[in-house]
A and B are shown apart, each in its own frame.
Chain A
Amino acid sequence: GQQLNQSPQSMFIQEGEDVSMNCTSSSIFNTWLWYKQEPGEGPVLLIALYKAGELTSNGRLTAQFGITRKDSFLNISASIPSDVGIYFCAGSGSYQLTFGKGTKLSVIP
């Protein structure tokens, strides 16, 4: 099946710092999605990307769909304590969605 490589696996950052994480795949995807999961809850959609090269923002979050359609990144600017959680990328080439293993973000106040 399709595999997604998500990095870094975990991050510890100071409050106020910017954060960047990315996903790469050996397969071409038509859609990239970024989710955030907090303890005891299901993943919540943050940003959806549907076109190669697309750059989309949602508040302090910015994500891009790579030109090659095999990668995507998520940036968080000016991190705050409530940004803590696990961030998952997910890609779809057809109707099936494949998730990365997640990036665990810790924010030090």
Chain B
Amino acid sequence: EAGVAQSPRYKIIEKRQSVAFWCNPISGHATLYWYQQILGQGPKLLIQFQNNGVVDDSQLPKDRFSAERLKGVDSTLKIQPAKLEDSAVYLCASSLDGTSSSYNSPLHFGNGTRLTVT
């Protein structure tokens, strides 16, 4: 099966500019996640969608970050305006059903978008 697709692979922007990332999950996966991975750390959840609804966005900096999954398939993550500390790899992941308490649907990750803010 095709994996999680993300684009672009790399993006360099200046602070205060805006940027958008795109993700296409594995076909049939209801749950989609956006993670931020800062160099030397593990991935940190930004937002989780179940179909086109938001399950958890408690760690999303909503003053500058936004995400949508309008038709329950593809998703975009936007940062506006970007700050230096937003430099990180943004990983998209999907799972069949990530809302069960025992987490029986493991996450499949894309290769990420590496963002550099200068």
Contacts and interface: CB of A to CB of B under 8 A. Distances in A.
B13 to A, nearest CB: 20
A88 B106 CA distance: 14
Contact of B108 (A1, A45, A99): A45
B106 A95 contact: no
A31 B98 CA distance: 12
Contacts of B103: 30-31, 33, 50, 92, 95, 97
Interface string B38-72: 00111111001000000110010000000000000
B102 A50 contact: yes
Instruction: Determine which residue in A1, A31, A94, A95 has the highest number of CB atoms from chain B within 10 A of its CB, and name it.
Output: A95
A34 B51 CA distance: 26
Contacts of B93: 42
Contact of A40 (B43, B101, B111): B111
B19 to A, nearest CB: 19
Given A50-B102, A92-B103, A101 B40 contact: yes
Contacts, number: 65
A90 B55 CA distance: 19
Given A31-B102, A45-B106, A94-B101, A99 B42 contact: yes
Interface of A: 1, 4, 6, 30-31, 33, 35, 40-45, 48, 50, 88, 90, 92, 94-97, 99-102
15 contacts: A6-B42, A35-B109, A42-B110, A43-B43, A45-B106, A45-B108, A50-B104, A88-B43, A95-B56, A95-B101, A96-B45, A99-B43, A100-B42, A101-B40, A102-B41
Interface of B: 4, 40-45, 48, 55-56, 59, 91, 93, 98-104, 106-112
